[in-house]
Every structure is written in C-alpha cells, then in structure tokens.
Chain A
Amino acid sequence: MTSHSARADSAGIAGSARALAERRPLGDRVFQALALVAGLLVLAILVLILVSTTQQSTTWFGKEGITGIFSTTWDPAHNKFGALTFIYGTAITAVIAVILAVPVSVAIALLLTEVVPYRWARPIVYVIDLLAVVPSVVWGLWGVQVFAPWVLPHVYAPVARALKGVPVLGNLFGPSTSGAPSGPAFFTAGLILAFMITPIVTSLSREVIATVPTIDKEGAYALGATRLEMIRGVVWPHSQGGIVGAVLLGLGRAMGETIAAALVIGSSTQITSHLLSPGYSMPAVIANQFGEAFGEFRSALLGIGVLLFLLTIIVNVLARAVVARNVQRTRGA
C-alpha cells in the first residue's frame, strides 16, 4: 500500500518536472541565455587574448626559431632575444615558493581542522585570508624597501660566508662567481611568493582535509591511535591527492605573479644555481621592459607572455585533474 502510493507520487513529480521543462517562463529562458553568454564570454576573451598575442609575437617566433627562443642571451641592444633565463627564473622562484609555503600551509590546515576547536579556528582563518588581500605591489615594495635591505647583511651575507666551499649547499647559498650575495635575488622572490601563495594552499588543503569522514577518524581513535597516528593513518591517505592539487594551484599562481617578482628578483639575466644572486622571471621582464620596447623586442615580450600563458594553463589543468581524480576516489571510498 505505502510502496504503491510512493511510486505514484514519484511518477507525478517526474511528470510535472517534464511539464515545467517544456513551457518555462520567459524570465527563466532569458536567465539561461544570459548565463550561457557570460560563460562563453570568458572563453571567447581568453581565446582572443591568446590569438592576438600569438599573432603579435610571430615576428619573434619566426626570427629566432626554437633554438633562439630557448637561448640564454637577452640583449635588446644587439637584437638577441632568448627567453631561457626568464623561464629558469620563473621555475626556480615558483619551486622555492612551493617548498617554503607547502609545509607551513598544510600544517596550518591540520591545525585548523584537527587541533584547535572550531570557534578558535574562525579568527585564524580570517587572519590567513588577510594575507591574500594584501596587494602584490605592497608585497613587492615591502620586499624591496624593507626586507631585502635587512636580510642582506643579517642573513644572506653570513650564510654565504659560512657555506663558502661546502658542497651542494655552497652551490645554492654560497657566494657566486659574480660576487657577493644580493638583497633582491631568486631566494627573496621565492620567499615573497611563498607568503603570497600560503593563503590559497592553506584554504584548499583545509577544504580537502575537512572532507575526511568523521567515522574513519573515530574508528582510528577507537583502535587506540594517537592524534598523530590518526592524521598519518587516516587524514593523510585520504587527502594526499587534494593537497597535491592545491600545491599545483599555488605553483601556477607563483609562476604568474608579476609586480612583486619584478620588484624583488633583481633583474639580472643569468642562469645560476646560486639562489642569493639576482635573477629574472617571465612576468617581471614583461612588466619592466614593455614601455620602451618596439619591433622584435616588443614581439619577443609578447611571445614570453604566450609561453607563460601556456605554462600556467598546463600547470592549472594538471592541478584540476589531480583534484578531480582525488574527489572521485574519496567519494568512492
């Protein structure tokens, strides 16, 4: 009796839903059209940007060829435009940022979800989100006016002296062949970028960790696990993939950061393992040199923009894929 009436009800609901779909009011259809246009607009703008910048950079692509583009010489005075130093700088600063930011971000996320009570977690989240509100030019100016002049005599110089001649560490933090360490440097840029990506990596990690089922966690406790054992045995395997995705999104953001990097990276076109030496990154060179550029010079800068665009798209797509796969897996579990 009950099962019969339930079936009838559901049939009725399905029927009325179909009827609704057939003759929807005008407002509904207008809204759908507007939403569709808005969605397509973003895509269209993205494609147009890519097309027009690629078009304007054909001079560079054509003239230099693959070997020219990936050469290390950037010398506008002699019409040589190789982008490898900038690609290297972008990669190395983003990697430094991720190495510094990820352990801190994941630790904060664990603190917020597993350690402190909910009502204390809220204010901490607000403070961390405030980091994301600071404009990048403020980070950059703080970096170049306050941080770099302080860190050079107090940290970089003694570290470089101490590590001179030490294998590996000496190559990374020792004095380079071109002289003493510099305030604005690869490492300074990486550190500023680390501050900037901490909020996004933290909030994404927190969301992933929050999806760990309470029943799994309580099961671990019931088996006599300590909090650390519970995090290692339950939280970590469950949220690993999502955190990797968060890290990749942070990486993408660090690679595209322009003004802060332009101000603190030191603006020197060189490839070196010495992280305390000045370097250059792709967005920084575009921001610094576009104003007076013309002809092939301008074309080369736009071309670097295209390369950067492709690079960040690849990283972002990778990140989304990792996150999506993880969400599917955890849902299945």
Chain B
Amino acid sequence: MQPRGRKRVAAGIGGIAALAVAVSLSACSSSPKPSGGSSPTAAPLTGTLNGAGSTFQTTFQQAAISQFKSVQSGMTVNYDPVGSGTGRSDLAAGTVNYAGSDSPIPSTETDFTGKGTVLYFPVVIGPITMSYNLAGVSNLKLDPTVIANIFQGKITTWNDPAITALNPGVSLPSQAITIAVRQDSSGTTQNFSLFLQTAVPSVWSLGSSSTISWPHSAHAGSGNSGVAQIIKSTPGAIGYVDLSTAHASGLTYASVKNSSGNYIAPSAASASASAAGVTVNPDLTFHAVWGSGAQAYPITYQSWVLVFEKQPNANDAKMLQAWIGYLLGDGQSLLPSLDYAKLPASIDQMAKAQLSKITG
C-alpha cells in the first residue's frame, strides 16, 4: 500500500520531468533519436519499479527479484500477484510500472484505449498437468476429446470405453470421475479452456475464459494448491494443475496426445517444444497451447510482462529495460528449477530486440 502511494507522487513528479524532456526533444526533433538502453545493465540505476498481475508468474518474479539485487543493487522491484485482469487495469490506470498477464489484452477491454502503445514481453511458459487420483494407475493417456468430455460431464466413469480405448492393457476401475476445477478466476483456467477450444472446437462447448460455467458436479478449489488438495483427497478425481504444484503435492499426471499424435508427459522441455512450434505475431503475442512439434506438450501456457512503450521519464524507461532485460537474459536460467519452462531461443531473441522500444 505504502509504496504505491509514494509511487503516485513520484509519477506526478515524473510527469513534469517527462514534459520537460518532451519539450527539449521537440526542440531538436530533426536530430536522430538517441539509442538509449543499448547496454541496459551497464550503468547503476536507482529507483523503484512496481508490478502487478498474473499469479502464475509469482514464483518466478519473486526469485528473479531477489537475484536481481546483485545486478542492480540500487533498484527495488515489487510484484503484487493480484491476477492478470487487475494487473492490466492497474497498468492502464498508471498505478504500476508493469503488469504480468497470462493473456493478451482482450479486444473488449477498453481500459487501454487512447493510453498509448503497450509492449508485450513474453517471459515465462509452463505446462498445465492433467493430474489424477487413481490407485494403481500411474501412466494414464488422454487425448483432447476425452479431456473435453470429462470436463463437460459427458464421461462420468473411469472405465468409459473412450478412456479404455486410449489405454490398452491398463485396468481402469468403474469408479465415478470427480472433476476438480478452480473456484477463483484464473489464467490457468483461461489457457486450459483455450487448449480445448483450439484442439477440439467441435467437441468443447464451454468456451474459453478465466471463469468457466462447469458442470454442477465439479468440485472447486482455490488456487492451484486448492485443486491439488481436492485431487489428493478424492479417489477418482482429475483436475488441471500447474507442474510445480503437481510436483509439490506429489500428484500423478497423465500424458496428453499432441497435434502430431504423440502422447507427451508435461515437463519443462516439452513445454518449450510446444512454444517453439507456434506462430508468433509481430507484437509478440502468441498462444503456446496445441503447438506443433513431435515432442510438444499441448497444454502449455505463457505469460507476458506488459509495459507502455512511452514511459513518463528516462529513468523509468532505463529501469524497465534493465529489469525486463534481466528476466529475458540471466533470469531465464532460474526457470527450470521452479518448474517453469524457458522461452524458446527464437522468441527470447525477438523479445530482447524489442527492449530498445521502451523510451522515456
């Protein structure tokens, strides 16, 4: 609370400074633009950056923030995991310097109209597991059609012919399926439903959103850990949980059939493979779900750091370049140990090349 209040004052002063810079720039507009931020980590910077948004990024942001201290000891970075939607509206309102978001700004979101260009920096990707609780079954195989029908309440028992057909030789019990879902709105739900909508649009009818109108038989838990707890305590349960929570809770998860027809287990490597096989738009938005590639895990999602191209002052711009540069550079090496996946080199290069667009 307190840093935000201070930030607002600082932003006010920054606004005046920006005005002065703008005036001095327009006075010599014929001269070529200074290529500021070519070496973002060279000069020591001082100041505070506040970010808010995606809960998916929390562990990465926290780890990166503590490591970043050794790179820029004069800078303080704060990250508030309030959810992607709130993070974006905070950015639009100018109360934070950057937002973490699991999805691009939706076309129906009007907060950003007339506020200037927003740059997308993909920073992290990760797999969503199909975790389940079935005694004696350790390597279940599922395909998108079966997953869609389970989560629409159309497949209700584990020995349904559709599931046994995918798992020859595995004896599946006649137990009822309990589906475990998120009760809070979430980027995980958003991207899980996007996967089903992308992979099997003719089967999946519940749409894609941060909140889905699940069948009434669904059990809802708060956060990834809440869903994991339901799965762990309910025999016959299946749910969507991110990889780090699945590992932390000791859950068993299924291999999922990808667009090449292979059954792939979720891992940092198979998630990177999925992201490497997607088409990236010029503004660096993309969807990592259902990526092509023989080794791609299909339920993979991504998260961006969002900043305004035009910053109120040169110092803010330099600090953002240094911070995001770190997330895309050395920070990437933190990801595998946190059960996230590194960005594919191609996307990482594109994101780094975009850093110089942030100007004060």
Q: Are B110 and A76 in contact (CB under 8 A)?
A: no
Q: How far is the CA of A293 from the CA of B109 in the complex (A)?
A: 10
Q: How far is the CA of A184 from the CA of B211 in the complex (A)?
A: 19
**Residue among A268, A278, A291, A297 with the highest chain B CB neighbour number at 10 A:** A291
Binds A, one of B138-146, B179-187, B325-333: B179-187
Q: A178-B216, A294-B88 are in contact. Are A289 and B184 (CB under 8 A)?
A: yes
Q: How far is the CA of A292 from the CA of B87 in the complex (A)?
A: 9
Chain A 35-74 near chain B by CB (<8 Å), digits 1 or 0? 0000000000000000000000000000000000000011
Q: How far is the CA of A269 from the CA of B218 in the complex (A)?
A: 11
Picked from A73, A77, A262, A266, the residue with its CB within 8 Å of the CB of B211 is A77
Across-interface contacts of B207 in A (CB, < 8 A):
75, 77-78
Across-interface contacts of A77 in B (CB, < 8 A):
193, 206-209, 211-213
Q: Are B220 and A292 in contact (CB under 8 A)?
A: no
Q: A178-B215, A296-B108, A298-B85 are in contact. Are A291 and B184 (CB under 8 A)?
A: yes
Interface of B is mostly: loop
CB distance from B241 to the nearest CB of A (A): 17
Picked from B88, B184, B190, the residue with its CB within 8 Å of the CB of A288 is B184
Q: Does A113 contact B (CB under 8 A)?
A: no
For residue A179, which residue of chain B has the nearest CB? Answer: B217
Q: A77-B208, A267-B183, A294-B111 are in contact. Are A182 and B219 (CB under 8 A)?
A: yes
Interface residues of A in 138-178 (CB under 8 A from B): 149, 178
Across-interface contacts of B233 in A (CB, < 8 A):
149
Q: Are A294 and B220 in contact (CB under 8 A)?
A: no
Q: A77-B193, A178-B216, A278-B219 are in contact. Are A289 and B211 (CB under 8 A)?
A: yes
Q: Are B213 and A74 in contact (CB under 8 A)?
A: yes
What's the tally of chain A residues with a CB closer than 8 Å to chain B?
Answer: 32
Q: Are A267 and B88 in contact (CB under 8 A)?
A: no
Interface residues of B in 76-101 (CB under 8 A from A): 82-86, 88-89
Picked from A78, A178, A297, the residue with its CB within 8 Å of the CB of B217 is A178
Q: How far is the CA of A184 from the CA of B180 in the complex (A)?
A: 13
Across-interface contacts of A149 in B (CB, < 8 A):
233
Q: Does B282 contact A (CB under 8 A)?
A: no
Interface residues of A in 111-149 (CB under 8 A from B): 149
Q: Are B215 and A292 in contact (CB under 8 A)?
A: no
Picked from A179, A267, A268, A294, the residue with its CB within 8 Å of the CB of B106 is A294
Q: How far is the CA of A270 from the CA of B153 in the complex (A)?
A: 15
CB distance from A57 to the nearest CB of B (A): 15
Interface residues of B in 217-244 (CB under 8 A from A): 217-220, 222, 233
Q: Does A290 contact B (CB under 8 A)?
A: yes
Across-interface contacts of A76 in B (CB, < 8 A):
185, 209-213
Chain B 58-91 near chain A by CB (<8 Å), digits 1 or 0? 0000000000000000000000001111101100
Q: Does B55 contact A (CB under 8 A)?
A: yes
Q: Are A267 and B216 in contact (CB under 8 A)?
A: no
Q: Does A277 contact B (CB under 8 A)?
A: yes
Q: Does A110 contact B (CB under 8 A)?
A: no
Interface residues of A in 278-314 (CB under 8 A from B): 278, 288-298
Interface residues of B in 341-357 (CB under 8 A from A): none
Across-interface contacts of A292 in B (CB, < 8 A):
83-86, 184-187, 190, 210-211
Q: Are A293 and B219 in contact (CB under 8 A)?
A: no
Q: Are A268 and B110 in contact (CB under 8 A)?
A: no
Q: Does A263 contact B (CB under 8 A)?
A: yes
Q: How far is the CA of A242 from the CA of B206 in the complex (A)?
A: 50
For residue B212, which residue of chain A has the nearest CB? Answer: A77
CB distance from B251 to the nearest CB of A (A): 17
Q: How far is the CA of A277 from the CA of B85 in the complex (A)?
A: 30
Q: Are B213 and A73 in contact (CB under 8 A)?
A: yes
Q: How far is the CA of A272 from the CA of B217 in the complex (A)?
A: 13
Q: Are A288 and B83 in contact (CB under 8 A)?
A: no
Q: Are A267 and B220 in contact (CB under 8 A)?
A: yes
Q: How far is the CA of A262 from the CA of B226 in the complex (A)?
A: 13
For residue A78, which residue of chain B has the nearest CB? Answer: B207
Across-interface contacts of B213 in A (CB, < 8 A):
73-78, 269
Across-interface contacts of B108 in A (CB, < 8 A):
294-296
CB distance from A218 to the nearest CB of B (A): 56
Chain B 149-188 near chain A by CB (<8 Å), digits 1 or 0? 0000000000000000000000000001000000111110
CB distance from A176 to the nearest CB of B (A): 8
Q: Are A263 and B222 in contact (CB under 8 A)?
A: yes
Q: Are B220 and A266 in contact (CB under 8 A)?
A: yes
CB distance from B113 to the nearest CB of A (A): 12
Q: How far is the CA of A45 from the CA of B245 in the complex (A)?
A: 41
For residue B187, which residue of chain A has the nearest CB? Answer: A292
Interface residues of A in 254-279 (CB under 8 A from B): 262-263, 266-270, 272, 277-278
Q: Are B186 and A295 in contact (CB under 8 A)?
A: no
Q: Are A291 and B85 in contact (CB under 8 A)?
A: yes
Q: Are B216 and A268 in contact (CB under 8 A)?
A: yes
Q: Are A293 and B85 in contact (CB under 8 A)?
A: yes
Known: A77-B212, A288-B185, A291-B186. 5 other contacts (CB 8 A): A77-B209, A178-B215, A267-B220, A295-B106, A296-B108
Provide a sorted-by-A list of 17 A–B residue pairs whose CB atoms are within 8 angstroms. A76-B209, A76-B213, A77-B208, A77-B209, A77-B213, A178-B217, A266-B220, A268-B214, A278-B216, A291-B84, A291-B184, A292-B185, A293-B185, A294-B111, A295-B106, A297-B211, A298-B85
